[in-house]
Amino acid sequence: MPTPALLVVAHGSRDPRHAATVGALVDRVRALRPDLRAGTAFLEFGTPSVRSALERLSADGVRDVVALPLLLTRAFHARTDIPAALADAPAALRVRRAAVLGPDPLLVAALERRLAEAGLRRSERASTGIVLAAAGSTDPEANAAIAAIAREWRRSTGWCAVRPAFASGPLPRTVDVVRALRADGVPRVAVAPYVVAPGRLSERIAVQAAGADLLAPVLGAAPELARLLLRRWADAVTAVPDQDLSSGRDHSVTLHA
């Protein structure tokens, strides 16, 4: 049987760095799996659209594709926008929907990588508080998942503190958590953006991180993310070989690492 293609579906941004970062991440996936056809599509502000990407795959003779949301939580875009976009797929194309990226230990490993690249040393863990700066959502479940990641990250790695913050939606904001950590006497504060690609939200996080000692880069094309994309693709192929979203029905399967 032909290997199902991979279509990475990103939200999109007016910031050109967003599409460039998504492209670099998918290039890393291709380097890991040269036999796998992998492409990108965007819900907004980028090309190709999801519909155009699916039509191109179908026109090229692809009959089986895994659509992978480039999202860190299973919030509104994952539950509503992406299923709606995939429902418009060509009838000849079988579309399976993979799980969102988070939570997963590989994401924490990518966060650790970015902090180290920004200059934070392992010897500083006991004196450093981390602000896990996420996008934020209107979905309480998605925000609770970020808080849970922060608790587990601190428990498993030994940072002085790890606390969540949100660029939009619920409080607290990054600036609030930086101040709270200072007020608690934490000697050093670092901000770790829990964001895949640059854009409006990452810029908002950067502005609010001005009072921190260190701001890590976004996750970007980290090798851990590329491995995670391939894991989600493989899980979807193995778990739901007959999934078909072209009828408009929601057959999504949530897979947990």
Q: What are 50-96's pLDDT values in tens digits? A: 999 999 999 999 999 999 999 999 877 777 889 999 998 999 999 99
Max CA distance (Å), the chain: 61
**Whether the predicted pLDDT of 144 surpasses 90:** yes
Topology match between the domains 5-102+222-239 and 119-215: yes
Count Cβ neighbours within 10 Å for each residue of 47-58 and write b for 16 or more, e otherwise: eebbeebbbebb
pLDDT at 39: 97
Q: From residue 172, give the alpha-carbon distance in Å to each of 16, 180, 192, 210, 225.
A: 28, 10, 15, 16, 27
Structure tokens at 23: 């492209």
Residue-wise pLDDT for 4-40, tens only, equals 999 999 999 999 999 999 999 999 999 999 999 999 9
Please name the residues in contact with 199: beta carbons below 8 A apart, sequence gap of 6 or more.
Answer: 13, 14, 15, 17, 18
Whole-prediction pTM:
0.90
Q: Which fold is adopted by the domain 5-102+222-239?
A: Rossmann fold (3.40.50)
Q: Which fold is adopted by the domain 119-215?
A: Rossmann fold (3.40.50)
pLDDT at 80: 80
Lowest-pLDDT choice from 154-158, 163-167, 216-220, 251-255: 251-255
What is the edge-to-edge ordering of all strands in the sheet holding 38-42? Answer: 38-42, 5-10, 64-69, 94-97
